[in-house]
Amino acid sequence: MIHDSEDATDPPAGLDPTDLRRLAEWRSQDILFCIARAPGDPRLLVGSSDFGVDALDPTADKPQRQRFAGTGHHSYVTGLAIAGGQLISGSYDRQLIWWDLETGQQRRVQTAHDRWIRRLIASPDGKRLYSVADDMTCRVWDAASGESLATLRGHATETPHGYPSMLYAVAVSPDGRWLAAGDRVGHVAVWDTETFQQVATLEAPTMYTWDPRARRHSIGGIRSLAFSPAGTELAVGGIGKIGNIDHLQGPARVEIFRWREGERLQELEDETRKGLVEQMVWMPDGKRLLTVGGDHKGFLTFYDVGSGELLHQEGTGGHLHGVAIARDWQTLAVAGHQSIAEWTLQPPEEEA
Amino acid sequence: MNWLLKRLPAVRPARSALAGAATLWVLGFCLSVLLTSRVAAGEPATATTSGVSPGAGGASAAAQRLAGEIDAAIAASQRAAGIEPGAVVEDAGFARRVTLDLAGRIPTTAELQAFLDDPAPGKRRRLIERLLTTADYAFHQRNQLDLLLLARLRRDGAWRDYLLQASRERRPWDQLLREILLPEREQPDEAGAAAFLRHRAKDLDALTNDTSSLLFGINIACAKCHDHPLVVDWEQRHYFGMASFFKRTYTTRGGSVAERFEGDVRFTTIYGEEKDASFMFLSGARVEEPAVERSDAEWKQVRQQIKEAEKNDQADPPPLPAFSPRAQLVDLALEDPRRYLAKNVANRLWARLLGRGLVDPLDQMHSENPPSHPALLERLAEELVAHDYQLSHLVRAIMISDTYARSSRLADAEPPPPEAFAVALPRPLTPHQLALSLSLATRDPAALPGPAKPSDWEQQRAAWEQRAEGWARRFEIPSPRFQVPVEEAMLLSNGTEMQQDLLADRSDRLVGALQKQPSVPEQIDRAFRAILSRPAEPAERERLAAYLEARRDRPVAGLRQMVWALLTSAEFRFNH
Amino acid sequence: MHRQRTDLGSPPATVSRRQLLGAAAVGSTVAAADMNRLSLFSQSGLAGEIARGDKSVILLWLAGGASQLETWDPKPGRSTGGPFAKIQTSVPGIEISELLPKMSQRLNETAIIRSLNTKIADHGGGYALMDTGRRSEPGVEFPHLGAIIAHELAQRESQVPDHIEMYTSTEGRRKGAAGFLGARYNPMFLTDSMMPDNIQRLEAISDADHADRASLQQFLSQRFSRDVPHPAVDSHNAAYGRVRGLMASDYLFDVDREPQSMRDHYGPTQFGQQCLVARRLVEAGVPFVKVARAWWDSHGQNFETHRELCADLDHVMAALLDDLKQRGLLDKTLVVTMGEFGRTPKINGSLGRDHFASAWSCTLSGCGIRGGSVYGKTDEDGQTVIEGETGAGDLFATIFAALGIDHTKEYMLGSRPIPIADFDSFPIREILA
């Protein structure tokens, strides 16, 4: 997630995806579903399949994961957000937990949804939290008090085939005004965060594969959303059509919309490194897009949104679930299957 | 072994020439018999085969000798067991049986009548010889080979075309073995022959088991996990030894079969020991791969080309290794002193014609399951090899024997043990036999040819085969302990094709033709001959006359129902 | 121990073939096919049949291998447990996955076996093992469960079919075979349509003619089979003998005959509607119905897939048990719910689980079962069975025992005895009523 302007430095000009290289990796036995960084804080904050929330300081001599303490979550931690100097986590256990970034202690816990929370983000001004869950609601919270400000219902609880649906993705525009959520069957709803009125809908049905004949269930869904820096485009990430739905063997897929007009500008599909697009980050120029995700392996893939060209791609051994980017794009931290890693777009220094 | 590989291509044309010569000889022989038969005095049909003049030598005399050996061996075991052989089947039954077994269909009414009317001695032998030369034989042989080798797995048109061509040419069994196990070398431009391997290529177990079972009569599936629990002959090393020959086999994106240059089988014994399998045939005979020096660059290139071929259907055909495990397998199989290849196909031919193998079950050829007539099976295998693997030699010999000609009727007696071969066993028609016979039986008999076939009979028969495909797919493939599934009874009782096509009231159909008969008894008789290949018996005539009388006001319905009852009777369903 | 033998070789000595053939009438399901193979006329056979009564089996086949960790044996909090929680059930002390909330309230007639260790983890091999109750053997075609049940439970003069399998999805579609019991016990196999093919008389022929025609065919066929006695020939007569009885059962497959409320009770999914047909069939006396719900093979996205499939299973299985109970059928119907194996505790990179046959679960509900029981235990991560290890043979022995069928009964294949449950298999007494 791009963080707020509390960071002093501006992003450097001329970031070149082909300069992407990995700096370090920390392997573990668990699965990391989300990653965040607080401004001015070098630590990588991760949410784990072992129900914990950890901080890893890559600048330390021997980086170790330090666990945040408290009663904690009772299931996978699938969302992390930084708001008002605090860390908030969301989990399959339906709860949101507030953590003190300095003391590492749990501050508050509350049940937030009726079903598993899939994603959690903060508004750019740090005053609100937005969460999506499989109760098919997108909920708005006061980041400081935890008070529920709104419950937005823009998605059907059942798929067209009569099965319970999932609400996977949520994003907010850089100016904080627009909020988007995307679900299992490829439906996107956009709300005005001031009025909480739904202002637009988009459809990306290719993201949802229902197999009526061979295996009789579905797979896929919209897994990530990202507004462009100008706020006028919305990237929708997921997976393309899959033949054998036992596996994630489908092309990584992104659709770009001019969301107000409901116009689809671009379809990007990659067959080389297949799987789900789990998270996306627009580069500051608003022309290029970073996507991370995977199937049984993982990828970081950069696209030129205008031309649709795949600019650069790196594969990883494990599926990537999340990415956190320092404001200056100095480092990209990714988290995923049994791994946390730091990458950079800075070209290596010339040897002295 | 390489010298063998180089030698073999030179041998093949000679065999084809021999097969070609044999065909010409048989044709010539038939012609001479036709010319001489008019003068022979009538001779009663006895329990022994009325012989052809002893002067006719070559293929026929050898078959006759072998038939004699067959009968002697069978008779000896019957005597030892105190079993009386059953009577010889009567002419009509014989004609139906051999036509099904050689032409893959029931005889037409005209063919049947010509046979029954033929007064000359030796007509049974002549019928067999004639049927061996007809276009029908190749189609039927093709269908039988398909059933044996692939049909349970897949229906493959190119494969069926390949088998048809091979059957037409009377290609010998060892050549077929070579072509289906080495299609990329023997038939590189033919997609068909590769089907045996291609449809199993993704499953090493299927390749190993099916080859062993179908081509060599040995089911070693159980020996994969441990030395076979029930059969001492087969150990894990036999299983994995055979698997080794197939380990390197792969298919290209374009659908061809090929072999890698490397790849060995490792297996874990029940003691947890890891072992490398060697290339070992079921007989225990082994082959060592010669060491080859290849540079890293050469390896890289070869692997790259293979990878290309696997991924891209436009890629060049991949290189073929000088050492081919499958070629080694073929050589070992042909050199095998135990003659598993010959014994298996002889056993299966025997089972096809007699209803039960000399080794039963057909894939259990091992020391604890001896053949019912071990010496006979050895002789059949020997004869096959001596006649250059020409299957028709065995087919002929078996079919001219007395053993083949037993009646299937038991006359209220206890059935003798099947391995005595004292009576003929009823054999369910194969899907194609049934489909073709249903079609044929329901045509206007007058429109179907007798023994002399029109010049386009080949094409006509091919068209019959095409039409039969749809039906054939619905019928069960015969298997040990075969039972007719109720779905078949439902299909024929309530399906639209039966009603609207086979039973159609049209002039080109039996139902239409029967209406032209002057009386009910003649309608009944005509129907019986067309469908069951025999006249009706008195009790049947009586019952059917009553049935048709009761429908006097709607005669077409009556005729349709009679025809239906005959078509769906058990007697029609079986070869007996 | 007394073993009840059923001889598949020679006909019974005391009754002549002619007498038996004469007794066979149109519509009789036990025709001459059985005679040469099975001796059904012994005293103990008849008595046994009366004791077995009007019982049925419904097999809910979770094709592809459902995850025990997302159903009956959850391990929340362990690294292998996945994200879902466990929930209390109507039986104190038993907890199952939160993905089966309806079933959690209906365990009173269900026993869970958590300790299956069947070792075969490929689809074809696992299916063969779990459907025949034993490892396959070359040269012997063991009958599948449906054929055995049909053979053991079918009422002699029954007009309804006795073995039905529904498998509509194409993946993993395999048909149960009767093996050496003979094609007589093959299933009626429904795939694309729930109405069996060719079950309805064509309009072109009247019912009277259809029946008369069948009699005529039988007259001709029986003359032949008298002269050429052979099991295959006899099977032909048997097959035709069953046609009209099966035709008369066509209404059983017509789910439109159920009120809308009943259709809604089972829900809109294909699995639900097929289970409704299954209830109709067992209500009419069909001894064995298999309904396959494919395809659980979640190598990727295990949790998402189980959300969907468990929702279906939960709703439909609960609806079926409720319906059977309400109609008084549950104590005569055994519902078996299982797949060919379970899924790995280890979660792979696509958030999937792979094949796993070392420690998995199945359930038995209804007839002869002590409801609310759990048999067997797995370790805390679900990797191994630590108590009550059960194989396919034991499961079959338990199924037979629950139905009142002697699990030690043997079929004779020639001179070789083949017990209906594999050697050294024992019913799990703890879960039998």
Question: CA-CA distance, B485 to B428, in Å (whole number)?
Answer: 12
Which helix (H) or strand (E) segment holds residue B530: the answer is helix B520-532
Residue where a domain terminates, one of C185, C219, C248: C248
Q: What is the pTM of this model?
A: 0.81
pLDDT at position A131 is 98
C60 and C145 in a common domain: yes
Write out the two tokens for C399: 């199924």
Query: Touching check for C217 and chain B: CB below 8 Å?
Result: yes
Q: Which residues of A touch C350 (CB under 8 A)?
A: 247-248, 275, 294-296, 319
C369 and C231 in a common domain: no
Q: Which residues of A touch C83 (CB under 8 A)?
A: 49, 75-76, 92, 116
The answer to whether the CB atoms of A337 and C298 lie below 8 A apart is no
Q: How many other C-beta atoms are found inside a 10 Å radius of the C-beta of residue C174?
A: 18
pLDDT at position B190 is 80
Question: CA-CA distance, C107 to C335, in Å (whole number)?
Answer: 12
Query: Touching check for A93 and chain C: CB below 8 Å?
Result: yes
Of residues A292, A276, A262, A283, the one with CA closest to residue A345: A283
The answer to whether the CB atoms of C305 and A163 lie below 8 A apart is no
Residue where a domain terminates, one of C215, C248, C281: C248
Of residues C422, C420, C418, C424, the one with CA closest to residue C403: C420
Write out the two tokens for B571: 């007697």
Q: How many other C-beta atoms are found inside a 10 Å radius of the C-beta of residue B290?
A: 9
Q: How many other C-beta atoms are found inside a 10 Å radius of the C-beta of residue C200?
A: 12
C218 and C280 in a common domain: no
Q: Distances in Å between the alpha carbon of C179 and those of A62, B473, C127, C137? A: 65, 21, 15, 12
C340 and C304 in a common domain: yes
Contacting subunits of A (3+ beta carbon pairs below 8 A)? C
Say if residues C309 and C302 touch (Cβ distance below 8 Å): no
pLDDT at position B233 is 79
For residue B534, what are the contacts with CB-CB under 8 A and spacing of at least 6? B92, B93, B96, B528
pLDDT at position C53 is 64
For residue A239, what are the contacts with CB-CB under 8 A and spacing of at least 6? A207, A209, A219, A220, A221, A223, A248, A250, A251, A252, A253, A274, A275, A276, A277
Q: Which domain holds residue C70?
A: 5-196+260-431
The total of structural domains in chain C comes to 2
Instruction: Indicate if the alpha-carbon torsion angle C202, C206, C207, C211 is positive or negative.
Output: negative
Q: Which residues of C touch A30 (CB under 8 A)?
A: 79
For residue B26, what are the contacts with CB-CB under 8 A and spacing of at least 6? B59, B60, B129, B132, B133
Which helix (H) or strand (E) segment holds residue A138: the answer is strand A138-142
- Secondary structure letter of residue A176 according to DSSP: S
| Chain C residue with minimum CA distance to B484 | C236
**Chain C, 275-314: which have a CB under 8 Å from a chain A CB?**
293-295, 297-301, 304-305, 307-309, 311-312
Query: Touching check for C236 and chain A: CB below 8 Å?
Result: no
Q: Which residues of C touch B482 (CB under 8 A)?
A: 183, 232, 235
Query: Touching check for C270 and chain A: CB below 8 Å?
Result: yes
- Run means of pLDDT, 10 residues per run, chain C, 433 residues: 37 31 34 33 42 83 98 97 96 97 97 97 94 84 95 83 95 92 87 92 95 97 93 92 93 96 97 98 96 97 98 98 97 97 97 97 98 97 98 98 96 85 96 96
| C/B Cβ contact: 3+ pairs below 8 Å | yes
Question: CA-CA distance, B14 to B17, in Å (whole number)?
Answer: 5
C389 and C347 in a common domain: yes
Query: Touching check for C250 and chain B: CB below 8 Å?
Result: no
Q: Residue A327 above 70 pLDDT?
A: yes
Surface-to-core class of residue B252, CB atoms within 10 Å of its CB (0-12 exposed, 13-18 middle, 19+ buried): buried
Question: CA-CA distance, A314 to A329, in Å (whole number)?
Answer: 17
The whole-angstrom distance between C299's CA and the closest CA on chain A is: 6
**Separation of first and last alpha carbons in chain C:** 22
Question: CA-CA distance, A225 to A275, in Å (whole number)?
Answer: 16
Q: Determine, yes or no, domain membership for C253.
A: no
Q: What is the CATH number of the domain that holds C143?
A: 3.40.720.10
| Chain C residue with minimum CA distance to A158 | C308
Query: Touching check for C83 and chain A: CB below 8 Å?
Result: yes
β-partners of residue B250 are B258
Q: How many other C-beta atoms are found inside a 10 Å radius of the C-beta of residue B490?
A: 22
Q: Which residues of C touch A166 (CB under 8 A)?
A: 304, 307
Which helix (H) or strand (E) segment holds residue C343: the answer is strand C342-343
Interface test with B, best of C36, C185, C233, C286 (most B CBs within 10 A): C233
Of residues B148, B66, B90, the one with CA closest to residue B357: B148
Q: Which residues of A touch C300 (CB under 8 A)?
A: 219, 246-249, 295-296
The answer to whether the CB atoms of A163 and C308 lie below 8 A apart is yes
C426 and C390 in a common domain: yes
Tell me how many residue pairs between chain A and chain C have CB atoms under 8 A apart: 96
Q: What is the pLDDT of residues A63-82, one digit of tens each?
A: 999 999 999 999 999 999 99
Render each residue's pLDDT in chain B as its tens digit; 576 residues: 343 333 333 333 334 444 444 444 444 444 444 444 333 333 333 333 333 333 344 568 999 999 999 999 999 999 999 999 999 999 999 999 999 999 999 999 999 999 999 998 999 999 999 999 999 999 999 999 999 999 877 889 999 999 999 999 999 999 999 999 999 999 888 889 999 999 999 888 889 989 999 999 998 876 776 666 666 778 888 999 999 999 999 999 988 999 999 999 998 877 778 888 999 999 999 999 999 899 999 999 999 999 999 988 888 889 999 999 999 999 999 999 999 999 999 999 999 999 999 999 898 898 888 999 999 999 999 999 999 999 999 999 999 999 999 999 987 778 899 999 999 999 999 999 999 999 999 999 999 999 999 999 999 999 999 999 999 999 988 988 788 988 899 999 999 999 999 999 999 999 999 999 999 999 999 999 999 999 999 999 999 999 999 999 999 999 999 999 999 999 999 999
pLDDT at position B58 is 53
pLDDT at position A10 is 57
Query: Touching check for C168 and chain A: CB below 8 Å?
Result: yes
| Chain B residue with minimum CA distance to C120 | B225
Which long-range CB contacts under 8 A does A192-196 form with residues at least 24 apart? A193/A123, A193/A128, A193/A140, A196/A140, A196/A150, A196/A152
C370 and C321 in a common domain: yes
**Chain C, 107-166: which have a CB under 8 Å from a chain B CB?**
137-139, 141
C123 and C35 in a common domain: yes
Q: Which residues of B touch C239 (CB under 8 A)?
A: 483-486, 488-489
Which helix (H) or strand (E) segment holds residue C57: the answer is strand C56-61
- Residue B135 φ then ψ, to 5°: -60, -35
Say if residues C110 and C152 touch (Cβ distance below 8 Å): no
Q: Which residues of C touch A298 (CB under 8 A)?
A: 349
β-partners of residue A342 are A24, A333
Of A8 and B53, the one with more pLDDT: A8
Q: How many other C-beta atoms are found inside a 10 Å radius of the C-beta of residue B549?
A: 10
Single-letter code of the amino acid located at B13: P
Surface-to-core class of residue B554, CB atoms within 10 Å of its CB (0-12 exposed, 13-18 middle, 19+ buried): exposed
| Chain A residue with minimum CA distance to C271 | A216
Single-letter code of the amino acid located at B227: D
- Residue C230 φ then ψ, to 5°: -170, 140
Question: CA-CA distance, A275 to A240, in Å (whole number)?
Answer: 8
Query: Touching check for C211 and chain B: CB below 8 Å?
Result: no
C207 and C183 in a common domain: no
Q: Determine, yes or no, domain membership for C254.
A: no
Q: Which residue has the tokens 């000399």?
A: B358
Considering only CB atoms, C295 lies closest to which of A215, A275, A297, namely: A215
Tell me how many residue pairs between chain B and chain C have CB atoms under 8 A apart: 148
Q: Determine, yes or no, domain membership for C396.
A: yes
For residue B507, what are the contacts with CB-CB under 8 A and spacing of at least 6? B444, B513
Write out the two tokens for A13: 């000009």
| Chain B residue with minimum CA distance to C198 | B494
pLDDT at position B41 is 35
Q: Which domains does chain A carry?
A: 2-346 (2.130.10.10)
Surface-to-core class of residue C18, CB atoms within 10 Å of its CB (0-12 exposed, 13-18 middle, 19+ buried): exposed
Write out the two tokens for A351: 């040897």
**Separation of first and last alpha carbons in chain B:** 47
C166 and C75 in a common domain: yes
Q: Determine, yes or no, domain membership for C255.
A: no
CB-facing half-sphere around the CA of B215: CA atoms within 13 A: 25
The answer to whether the CB atoms of A247 and C299 lie below 8 A apart is yes
Question: Tell me, what's the ipTM?
Answer: 0.93
The three-class DSSP label of residue A92 is coil
Of residues B379, B339, B383, B337, the one with CA closest to residue B358: B379
**Chain A, 12-51: which have a CB under 8 Å from a chain C CB?**
29-31, 49-51
Query: Touching check for A323 and chain C: CB below 8 Å?
Result: no
Query: Torsion angle of alpha carbons B37, B40, B46, B50, nearest 10°?
Result: -50
Q: Which residues of B touch C240 (CB under 8 A)?
A: 489, 493, 568
Q: Determine, yes or no, domain membership for C103.
A: yes
C217 and C90 in a common domain: no
Q: How many helices (H) and strands (E) does chain C have?
A: 12, 17
Query: Touching check for C205 and chain B: CB below 8 Å?
Result: yes
C133 and C239 in a common domain: no
- Secondary structure letter of residue C378 according to DSSP: E
Average pLDDT over residues A190-211: 98
CB-facing half-sphere around the CA of B489: CA atoms within 13 A: 28
Say if residues B560 and B548 touch (Cβ distance below 8 Å): no
The answer to whether the CB atoms of C139 and B573 lie below 8 A apart is no
Q: Determine, yes or no, domain membership for C16.
A: yes
For residue B342, what are the contacts with CB-CB under 8 A and spacing of at least 6? B173, B380, B381, B382, B384, B385, B389
Write out the two tokens for C284: 């009419």
Considering only CB atoms, C202 lies closest to which of B484, B494, B562, namely: B494
Say if residues B403 and B185 touch (Cβ distance below 8 Å): no
Query: Torsion angle of alpha carbons C202, C208, C209, C212, nearest 10°?
Result: 130
Q: Determine, yes or no, domain membership for C140.
A: yes
Query: Touching check for C247 and chain B: CB below 8 Å?
Result: yes
Q: Determine, yes or no, domain membership for C204.
A: yes
Instruction: Indicate if the alpha-carbon torsion angle C396, C398, C402, C407 is positive or negative.
Output: positive
Residues in chain C: 433
Interface test with C, best of A168, A209, A222, A246 (most C CBs within 10 A): A246
Question: CA-CA distance, C31 to C247, in Å (whole number)?
Answer: 18
